[in-house]
Amino acid sequence: MPDAATHILIQILLNQFIMIRKILPYTLFGAVAPDLLKGFNRWLSPEYSWLFYPTHSPIFMLIFFYAISMLFHQKERSFLIKGCLIGMLIHLLLDLFQINLGGGYYMPYFPLSFQRVSFGLFETETSIFWLPVTILLTITVILSKKFLVKKER
């Protein structure tokens, strides 16, 4: 799953610049949540896979994250929702740039519209080729940030 690895690595990279520490773990979950939900269609008959098309919709995922937040303490709920939405929006932006086999099923405007959207800038397999670069970039940013913090002390 290089696509999921890319989503997580880019979110880790972006998390280096987010100053609100309480939302960081939730951004990582939000970065993979749409694909995790979409993965449930493998347990169902292919004729019901359409149920999981809206998992790449901000409105659908907001409702999903709100429902999950009810399992958490009230103080954590807003951090969970905000963090998950940030991660999901980064995920959605990355997915909208790819060309999917079968035309793609990203419906970012659901339930307002059933229109499928894809900017079509790169193939789905491109994440495999860019995965080593993404890993190196993420490690470089994390190590340089740690080095700069130590240097300031």
**Residue range 102-145, pLDDT digits in tens:** 656 677 777 887 777 777 777 777 778 888 888 999 999 889 88
The count of C-alpha atoms lying within 13 angstroms of the C-alpha of 29, restricted to the half-sphere facing its C-beta, is: 16
**Residue range 60-85, pLDDT digits in tens:** 899 999 999 999 999 999 999 999 99
Closest CA to 22 of 70, 75, 91: 75
- Provide the number of structural domains found in the chain: 1
The DSSP output letter for 31 is H
Q: Can you give the residue range of the structural domain that contains 20?
A: 2-152
**Residue range 1-42, pLDDT digits in tens:** 457 888 889 899 888 888 788 888 999 999 999 888 877 777
